[in-house]
A and B are shown apart, each in its own frame.
Chain A
């Protein structure tokens, strides 16, 4: 098996992580609508979540629901799941604040387009 095929077949999720980060970054830089920039930030975030959850995965493992007597398994690692649960909630808080600012910007300047906004502010 060639190196590239091997990479594709054993580390496919990491490739998706990289592509999703790229999509999110492109949206944040290039899309002129502020709401779409916020969506781009969320796409970037979910890409990083995929990285963590993939790291926690083990072949043939079950979810980390433990047997009462101990033993059982293998289990996936619970720690990255916890970190991502926290990150999802923090991400929503961040989005809520960003969207509130966007609503305020629209009330003040009457536009959500980045270029128009820049012109209006410079006037």
Chain B
């Protein structure tokens, strides 16, 4: 399926990347070319093949239900969490007003 300017506009919107019409027009043939190259995957017969789950055999470990056991994964660090915020006040991050 060809990647059109309309496709690019749609995926850029889904990905929240602002693009101009000119950019979309430039990107569309590029992506179309890349996707065309990727299409060759369709040649592979994957009947009865399961999608890969873990490249190296391993099992999912579960954590104990303990609060702030490790400062690197726990809370109570508001200053560190907010330190890099482009905008914030009164202990909150702030964003342009959202109308729900």
Q: Do A and B come from one complex?
A: no
A residues with CB within 8 A of B: none
B residues with CB within 8 A of A: none
